[in-house]
Each structure stands twice: as C-alpha cells, then as structure tokens.
Chain A
C-alpha cells in the first residue's frame, strides 16, 4: 500500500487549526477521504511550473478607494438581532482566559 498522504496526528492538528470538534469516527473517515483527495491533487506536482507566475484572480483587480464620509448604516439593534447571546449592546461570549477546571 502507498504511504498515507495524511496521518491521524495531522488530522488532529488540522481539526484544531480549523476549530472543528470531530468525533473519533469522523476523524477516521476524514483521514481516509482526505487521503484519497490529496492523492488526486498530487497530480499537480507532476506539472512543470518553473517560471509560471501564480494567478489569484482571473480578472485584473485594482484597489478601490472612496471618500471617508459618514453615511447611514444598520442600527445596533439590527446588528445584534441575530446574536445567539447578547448583553445590552454587546455580543456575549464564554470566558476567553482559561482557568483550571474543577475535577
């Protein structure tokens, strides 16, 4: 069998970077499927791209500037209306600084 393109350790690492909580079954399936996809994508490496510039967008883009003038925007209430949790005029989130968890 060919060497796997991606190990379980890498799946764990990438899931952490992606902020995705995955079950063990999901991780195993993910490893297998990503392995297949990465093997297919590996064909890109066979192409000689020496001296070829990268394309990030097919149509040329220029930076767009406008005058920094105040104009109407959505109200605070409209912006907060979809929040799962709010406190007055703020989005409320769980604590950010880690504390020791009680056993």
Chain B
C-alpha cells in the first residue's frame, strides 16, 4: 500500500519507477472514500484536480526530471489556508462558499515543488479550540479511538496523517494547535519559530502568535516539508529574512554532548501519570544517546495560559472584524441598516467559541480595562520570554510533555476553561515565539498516543529536528499504526 509510506519512501518509488504519482493519488482517494466517513478529517476533497496534478508529475518522472522530493506527493492542508478555486471555510459557517481568488504562499510553494493537493482538512472554527468540536460542520475522530477527539485546532491535519489519508499535511499553531493534535494522534507536528514561515494567505487568528507548520509520519518528512515552506516572503512583512539551513543535514548529527533542559514547572499535579512516565523514559533515552540533561526553571509557566487568553482573543476580536457580510461569506438578509446587518450576520455566522473569544477580546481592549488586562498580559509575556532566554543560556533544547493528558472523549469537556487548560504546556512557546516540535513518545495502556515536546531557541529548528530524529531512531513508536477498517 503506497498510502502507508512516508514521503521519502514514496519519492524513492517514484524515482525508481516502481510506482507513479497517479497510482499514489488514486490509492489515497480510494482510502479517503473508504475511511474518511469514519475519521471525518476532510472538509473538501478535490479528486479531479489532484489526478490532473498527478498526471503532470507522472510525466516529469517519465522524463527523469522531477522537481524535487515533494514531486507527486499527495498532501492536504488545514482549511485555514486560501486555495485558489477551492472553497476555504476556516471551519466556519460565515465563510461557507468562499472561494479564494489566490493561493497562500505556502500553497504556492507546495505546488511549485510538484506536490498534489488532495483537499482541505477540518478544524475548530477560526482555529479556536483543542478538539475540532468547534468546527461548524462536524467533529473529526481520533484514528486511534473513534470515540475520542483528535485534538485541535488542526485536528483534521493530524488525523489525516495518523490514518494515512495524506502523506503529510499543513496546520497552524497559535497556542498549541499543531503540537497538541500531533500528540493526541501519534504524529510528528512542528511549529516553527514565529516568522519562519510566510503567513500570506493564511486566515488570521492572533497575528502575534500564529505560525504555519507541518504534520508528518516521521521526522525526515517533517524536515522535507519545513524545507519547502520556510523562508522569507515579500508578501508577508512579518516573515523573517534569516536564511533557511539544509535541514536534511541536521538529521545526520547525533546528540552526544547536547544540553537538554527539563523544566520542573511542566511536571505538575494534574499531569497524567502515564504521560509523565513516557516523558521521563524519553529523557532517559536521550541520556543513553549521549545528551546531557539538567533541570531548568521556567517560573512564569503558570501565568502563560492567562496571558494568552487575553492576548489571543484581543487580537482575534480585531482580526475577525473583517467578517461583516460585505466582501465575502454569509450575509443575513432583512437588516434595518448596515450596523444591524453586521450584527445579525456575525451573530448567525459565528459559533459559540468564536463569539466568546470576540467578546472576551473586545472586553479586554475596551476603555477602563485595557491596562488591567491587555497591558498586564503583555508584560507577563515579557516575563515568560525572559524565562526561556535564561534557560537557553544553559541548554540547547528543552524537553517536556506536550499536553497534560491524552486524547479525551468527544463531548467530555463542555466548560470552556477546562478546554483551555489543555494548552498549558504549549502556550508559553507561542508567547515566546519559539519553535516547538511534538513527537510520538509511546502509548498508554489503553493504546492512546503520548507526545514528547521539544522546544528550541528562536530559528534553531535544525537542532529540534536533530534531537527528534535521534530519539525516533532509538524508539519503536513510529512503526505502530491505528487499526482502521472500512
């Protein structure tokens, strides 16, 4: 089955002539048709255009002129990226039917590399959530246990990779939306440094935090995906001009002598004992591989979540002002006047979590509360950032759990605050703008995946990939797959 292969394995078969991109795309489309009714990862599948792109890739391989390691590889992306001619909803009713007239830069880069786009993946509405239960359309299921959530907000992206419904995918991470679903679904998920990847054509949630990154079946594929999407983009003034290194090279290095920090604040009450045991075992593995571990302190960790739930909603309340029923998307008819049309359209078009965050953000920015909430949260953000800067004077990377627990049951977390607490270990990394990678680190007794989080210095994605690769090579987790029957 070609769908079980990694990108690098599949590409090798294309090059040797053992398989063609068209065969791979057809296998993926058949698997999606058979299994996605259960997993529900896709919002949109585009078989005709995918087969057309595959045929073009076939021709390049036949003439021995493939474009590179992603040529002919079947991929899918979170429905948060604008795709020319393909409906883009961001998981919201307010954007139902929106067909972007242009591609996001990351989509352009994947297309230029020859990758085939299979479709668009489910997500929490406007990337606000940790389970895909906030999607306006349906909830994606965890391929390891269909009664559980895949995590979120990039839950469709994670589930598609875990269930072999795409070779790799793209997601976005504002407070953990790549790393948390990667941990819940047993895939590799990588949030690069803020500014590393262009956000042009990405539908904005919280602009000082949002970052694009890949989900993949292994670390080598993660490096290939990042290599393709990383780098400065003149269309995104917040994208960094720092050169992108050759990530494949980093994968060849071992971790002997590398300094690994263990933050005490990430091993707290409420951490699932099975998650803690797996993370401790992973730390021991890194020591066996020659890494030097030491304890570090990130004392403001417990304030990160509170600061985030001021900053992210504040930015969202401003970013989401554009959904006004004028330029695209839903408009509720019968309004008295313009303001009434705005209010009714937004009232009908946004789901409960989006309304909650728009309200929270507007409140935090409103006259009389600005200093107490927004101003204070930005100062706390400085303290969180300084914690990491201090720690990284002594260590090269930090390792920790990705989440306090494993994938939870659908409908289990109805209280919004309980849902937010899921992100307690991923949010500080966004506040500090750092790269963070989640990698499978074992399974619970019940067979649910556990994720190890590796946090690095700004723009030092190469070292994270190096540590992840060494850990992956030393552990058996990568070979296990969920059992799914049509």
Contact = CB atoms under 8 A, between A and B. Distances in A.
Interface stretch (B4-12, B64-72, B335-343): B335-343
B85 to A, nearest CB: 11
B231 interface: no
Interface in B194-248: 194-195, 208, 234, 237-238, 240
A55 B101 contact: no
A37 B360 contact: yes
Contacts of B238: 57, 61
B81 interface: no
B377 A44 contact: yes
Interface string A87-103: 00001011111100100
A52 B360 contact: no
A14 B480 CA distance: 49
A59 B458 contact: yes
B26 interface: no
A37 B416 contact: yes
A30 B416 CA distance: 11
A36 interface: yes
Contacts of B309: 37, 40-41
Contacts of B306: 40-41, 43-44
Given A30-B359, A43-B306, A94-B341, A58 B431 contact: yes
B481 interface: no
Nearest to B236: A64
B27 to A, nearest CB: 34
B205 to A, nearest CB: 15
B350 A30 contact: no
A38 B362 CA distance: 13
B420 to A, nearest CB: 8
B376 A57 contact: no
Interface string B353-364: 001101110110
A40 B419 CA distance: 13
Nearest to A91: B326
B359 A45 contact: no
Contacts of A74: 101-102
Nearest to B321: A19
A79 interface: yes
Q: Is chain B's interface secondary structure helix, strand, loop, or mixed overall?
A: helix
B434 interface: yes
Query: Which of B98, B307, B362 has the most chain A CB atoms inside 10 A of its CB?
Result: B362
Given A44-B306, A83-B327, A17 B337 contact: no
Interface string B91-102: 000000111011
B151 interface: no
A44 B78 CA distance: 33
Contacts of A98: 336-337
Interface in B270-304: 300, 302-303
Contacts of B330: 84
Interface in B376-413: 376-383, 385
A22 B359 CA distance: 11
Contacts of B346: 18-21
A47 B306 CA distance: 12
A2 B383 CA distance: 29
A56 B339 CA distance: 31
A66 interface: yes
A8 to B, nearest CB: 13
Contact of B98 (A38, A44, A82): A82
Contact of A47 (B303, B356, B358): B303
A70 interface: no
B376 A44 contact: yes
Contacts of A66: 234
Nearest to B356: A33
Interface in A45-69: 45, 47, 49, 52-59, 61, 64, 66
A40 B421 CA distance: 11
Contacts of B358: 18, 20
A28 interface: no
Nearest to B330: A84
B187 interface: no
11 contacts: A6-B363, A10-B363, A19-B321, A20-B346, A20-B358, A20-B359, A26-B352, A37-B360, A49-B383, A94-B340, A101-B336
Closest 5 A/B residue pairs (Cβ): A58-B433, A21-B347, A54-B378, A82-B328, A84-B331
